[in-house]
Chains A and B, each alone.
Chain A
Amino acid sequence: MSLIEIRDLRLSIGDVPILRGVDLDIAPGKVMGLVGESGSGKSMTALALMRLLPRGARVSGRITFDGMDILTAPEAAMCRLRGRHIGMVFQEPMTALNPLKTIGEQVAEGIRWHTGANRADAEARARAMLERVGLPENRFPLTRYPHELSGGQRQRVVIAIACALKPKLLIADEPTTALDVVLQAQILQLLRDLVDENRMSLLLISHDLAVVAEMADRITVMRHGEVMETGGAVRVLAEQAHPYTRQLARASTHVPARPKQAVRTAEKPLLEVENVSRDYALRRQSIFSRRRTFRAVDGVSFSLATGESVALVGRSGCGKSTLARVILALDSPTSGAIRFMGEDIGARAKDALRPVRRNMQVVFQDPYGSFDPRHKAERLVAEPLYLLDEKLDRRRRREMVAEALTQVGLSPADMDKYPHEFSGGQRQRLSIARAIITRPRLIIADEPVSALDVSIRAQILDLFADLNARLGIAYLFITHDLTVARAICDRALVMHEGRIVEAGPTEMVLQTPRSEPARALVETAPDLERILEKRIVAS
């Protein structure tokens, strides 16, 4: 008997069909991995299970949970079900908690509502649950507010809320996508333990096969609102019988073919970072106490040759983005020097930075947040052109934009579109086009593929590799994922608590990490092949 039985689930919003006849079964105590690209309908399937669909969604088909028909149940019955028998963990821990309520209130609330327990009892249970998810009382009292916690800690609170009443089914919708690889491994381990302890069923949703590969008993692969393949996890992953499953698996381990770049180390380095530190002032404890500082970047030195691509790898909060900002001269170093093309840029005034900025461009993580939604692609891509010395007329500008768009695999006709008309992957191409339009020597890319699905990630990595080969652009590639670094970087620098703790050829760092932080990053990076080997041996 299945705990969950979904039959011919169809869903549309307005005239857009989202789900086209989904069938899915989850047995009690089992883990179902639900995999697919964004837009494949995985999250909608989960929300339909909870009946928390967005306004205007029309559903048909049947969902049975433990014998109860979910789509026709009265709302009051659904309220008794949600949180009690089905718990849910979401993707974005930073926004999933109410900022105005303490974590204790938020965990205890569901307990009180469902069990009618008094405040003291509910708080005692909330306390025990927070202990269980790894938030001990001495550091995380119930009176903490969400803004006092990091992303990983917040996700633990969300898990505590979802699991507080030991539901029969836990739905985890991309629970680790917003976290770095080390945290991802910790959170997945926690979910696995909770599922085992309480014999819960788990619906684990991810765009990355490698994430679900280790935990899932069965896997369902979705695309465009349809189930492509479903079956035992080991079989689905080992055989990769369905072409789409194969495509996803390949994307997850994708390494672009790169011609061996002749890195001109003999010449003067393109970028030299010398003993750079950056301090931030912390808030004063009282008006009279001395202002303490936090050293985000601590004595970092490295150099980068023309045409070379270097990965700066580290966990979130290790200082890598601060270092990037300092190199980009968006922030000034507290001490140390940065030389770009032989010139010191740390000490330059804003106006004198123009020729530097022309040769050093940036690509950010979030392709949604880094464009003004009211500007057309032409204007967005042409923005850095003001850095050139010559003034361009409109025709020349359009030519340059068209060329940049072609370089990144978009069409010149896309020039007149607005950002919302592009998909996530296309938008990241657009931000790369914006970065290359001034023909820079160096691009600093801050987690440029972290927000993208594996299949799109593979395409963007190919594009980076291709631009490096064709235009000789050097990269400083900032990422928390070593497998991404391996894909396109010659060298890797591992950063931990503001310092560079390990540096060397990427393959060497991956094969034989010497420092503890590097080892942690290597071990936790989701690696489909390794996991599969392990599981086949185990079965």
Chain B
Amino acid sequence: MTAFLAKRLAVGLITLLAASVIVFSVLEILPGDPARIMLGMNASPDALEALRIEMGLDRPILARYLDWLAGMATGDFGRSYTYSSPVLDLVWERLAVSLPLAVFALSLSTLIAIPVGVFSASRRGSAADTITMGAAQVGVAIPNFWFALLLVYVFSVGLRLLPAGGFPGWGESWAQHWQAFKALILPAVALALPQAAILARVTRSAMVEVLGEDYIRTARAKGLPRTQVLWRHALRNAMIPVLTIMGLQLAFLLAGTIIIENVFYLPGLGRLIFQAISQRDLIVVEGVVMLLVASVILINFAVDICYAIVDPRLRAGR
């Protein structure tokens, strides 16, 4: 088990290093002068020169790469020139919205999808199965911004229960926490719907396969009722593909939520990247991309640990 995790961790670090080379060289490979790209064609020579020095463009490439790595290792991701503040601070600020939102959406989608998938699989071929899976198909197909607008129309404009957008910040008091949380409910639901639809389909097909296995028959022959067999024997065996998809979804939810953030005016990571790209703030782009790579690696590592918890054969082997 320890060897398995150590190996995964080592692979993760190597991946991170490889990603840093790629991210760094993209900046180098871009034709022309990065400083000019960032400032645009009409920049004054003085501003250009200042930025060049700030970015260290006058120094050899290897030295700059190593400095950049060393900086990141000590938590210094450079300064954004549009916001004039450290990249890490910007990211922290945004993460306070994006991380809770991602976890919230993923929890919602898991809580919906797994029971639905199990239910459908246990009634495979029935009308209930056909209807739920049809609904899941629609869930995958609906664009989430459209669904988000629908939610705003019903819950904010119509029922006036939840805010239509914006994020007040987490604040100090419980009342403020609650306001912040309320602001995340609709975005989380909008994000969770397509994710839940996909996850339900994956759960269903994994369950259908497991339910055909011999050991399910053994469990039934013991006298266990159908529901017990479903939850105690089948679900855990079906978890590996479900966990894989959940890992991918969490990674996506961290930064891929730009559309929903825009619909609800949320200051999340997605908007930070989007703005940095449109303002050619390459230092921010570099830093955020590296952080995202790191979080994807971390999520995969967590998923690997979950695999090992679920399946004893993986604990022993590899």
A114 CB contacts on chain B under 8 angstroms: 223
From A84-92, A116-124, A259-267, the one touching the partner chain is A84-92
Alpha-carbon distance between A75 and B222 when the two chains are bound, in angstroms: 14
Contact residues of B: prevailing secondary structure: helix
Whole-angstrom distance between the Cβ of B143 and the nearest chain A Cβ: 37
Alpha-carbon distance between A186 and B170 when the two chains are bound, in angstroms: 69
B225 CB contacts on chain A under 8 angstroms: 75-76, 79
Q: A145-B312, A145-B313, A147-B312 are in contact. Are A97 and B224 (CB under 8 A)?
A: no
Alpha-carbon distance between A161 and B233 when the two chains are bound, in angstroms: 15
Partner of A99, one of B223, B228, B311: B311
Q: Are B215 and A83 in contact (CB under 8 A)?
A: no
A148 CB contacts on chain B under 8 angstroms: 316
B31 contacts partner chain A, Cβ-Cβ < 8 Å: no
Alpha-carbon distance between A147 and B315 when the two chains are bound, in angstroms: 12
Q: Are A80 and B221 in contact (CB under 8 A)?
A: no
B160 contacts partner chain A, Cβ-Cβ < 8 Å: no
Partner of A100, one of B125, B223, B226, B312: B312
A150 contacts partner chain B, Cβ-Cβ < 8 Å: no
Alpha-carbon distance between A80 and B223 when the two chains are bound, in angstroms: 6
CB nearest neighbor in A for B313: A147
B224 CB contacts on chain A under 8 angstroms: 79, 83, 109-110, 113
- B219-255 residues with Cβ-Cβ distance < 8 A to A are 219-226, 228, 233, 236-237
- A238-295 residues with Cβ-Cβ distance < 8 A to B are 283, 286-287
Partner of B221, one of A75, A76, A87: A87
Q: Are B218 and A161 in contact (CB under 8 A)?
A: yes
Quick one: CB contact mask for A36-74 with B, threshold 8 Å, 1 for yes? Answer: 000000000000001010010000000000000000000
Partner of A95, one of B214, B236, B310: B214
Q: A52-B217, A96-B214, A100-B311 are in contact. Are A82 and B125 (CB under 8 A)?
A: no
Alpha-carbon distance between A86 and B115 when the two chains are bound, in angstroms: 32
A81 contacts partner chain B, Cβ-Cβ < 8 Å: yes
Quick one: CB contact mask for B291-318 with A, threshold 8 Å, 1 for yes? Answer: 0000000000000000000111100110
B226 CB contacts on chain A under 8 angstroms: 75
Q: Are A90 and B214 in contact (CB under 8 A)?
A: yes
A162 contacts partner chain B, Cβ-Cβ < 8 Å: yes
B46 contacts partner chain A, Cβ-Cβ < 8 Å: no
Whole-angstrom distance between the Cβ of B5 and the nearest chain A Cβ: 13
B218 CB contacts on chain A under 8 angstroms: 90, 96-98, 106, 158, 161
Whole-angstrom distance between the Cβ of A140 and the nearest chain B Cβ: 15
Whole-angstrom distance between the Cβ of A93 and the nearest chain B Cβ: 9
Q: Are B222 and A98 in contact (CB under 8 A)?
A: no
B223 CB contacts on chain A under 8 angstroms: 79-84, 110, 113-114
B3 contacts partner chain A, Cβ-Cβ < 8 Å: yes
B220 CB contacts on chain A under 8 angstroms: 50, 52, 82
A110 CB contacts on chain B under 8 angstroms: 222-224
CB nearest neighbor in A for B217: A52
Q: Are B233 and A98 in contact (CB under 8 A)?
A: yes
Whole-angstrom distance between the Cβ of B225 and the nearest chain A Cβ: 5
Alpha-carbon distance between A101 and B310 when the two chains are bound, in angstroms: 10
A96 CB contacts on chain B under 8 angstroms: 214-215, 217-218
Whole-angstrom distance between the Cβ of A73 and the nearest chain B Cβ: 13
CB nearest neighbor in A for B125: A55
CB nearest neighbor in B for A97: B215
A283 CB contacts on chain B under 8 angstroms: 317
Whole-angstrom distance between the Cβ of A166 and the nearest chain B Cβ: 14
B58 CB contacts on chain A under 8 angstroms: none
A75 CB contacts on chain B under 8 angstroms: 225-226
A90 CB contacts on chain B under 8 angstroms: 214, 217-218, 221
Q: A98-B237, A99-B313, A145-B312 are in contact. Are A88 and B221 (CB under 8 A)?
A: yes
- B200-217 residues with Cβ-Cβ distance < 8 A to A are 213-215, 217
Whole-angstrom distance between the Cβ of B193 and the nearest chain A Cβ: 31
B213 CB contacts on chain A under 8 angstroms: 95
A99 CB contacts on chain B under 8 angstroms: 215, 237, 311-313
Max chain A C-beta neighbours (<10 A), residue from B124, B213, B222:
B222
Alpha-carbon distance between A97 and B233 when the two chains are bound, in angstroms: 10
Q: Are B237 and A100 in contact (CB under 8 A)?
A: yes
A81 CB contacts on chain B under 8 angstroms: 223
Q: Are B215 and A52 in contact (CB under 8 A)?
A: no
A92 CB contacts on chain B under 8 angstroms: 214
Alpha-carbon distance between A110 and B221 when the two chains are bound, in angstroms: 9
Alpha-carbon distance between A119 and B218 when the two chains are bound, in angstroms: 20
A98 CB contacts on chain B under 8 angstroms: 215, 218-219, 233, 237
B313 CB contacts on chain A under 8 angstroms: 99, 145, 147
Q: A95-B213, A147-B313, A287-B3 are in contact. Are A100 and B221 (CB under 8 A)?
A: no
Alpha-carbon distance between A286 and B124 when the two chains are bound, in angstroms: 46
A82 CB contacts on chain B under 8 angstroms: 220-223
Whole-angstrom distance between the Cβ of B238 and the nearest chain A Cβ: 10
The 6 nearest A-B residue pairs measured at CB: A83-B223, A110-B222, A83-B222, A82-B223, A95-B214, A88-B221
Mark B residues whose CB is within 8 Å of A.
Answer: 3, 124-125, 213-215, 217-226, 228, 233, 236-237, 310-313, 316-317
> Can you list 20 residue pairs at the A/B interface with Cβ under 8 Å?
A81-B223, A83-B221, A83-B222, A83-B223, A90-B218, A95-B213, A95-B214, A96-B217, A97-B215, A99-B237, A99-B313, A100-B237, A109-B222, A113-B224, A114-B223, A145-B312, A145-B313, A147-B316, A162-B221, A283-B317
Mark A residues whose CB is within 8 Å of B.
Answer: 50, 52, 55, 75-76, 79-84, 87-88, 90, 92, 95-101, 106, 109-110, 113-114, 145, 147-148, 158, 161-162, 283, 286-287
Q: A55-B125, A79-B223, A83-B221 are in contact. List 6 more A-B contacts (CB 8 A).
A: A82-B221, A83-B223, A87-B221, A90-B221, A99-B312, A100-B237
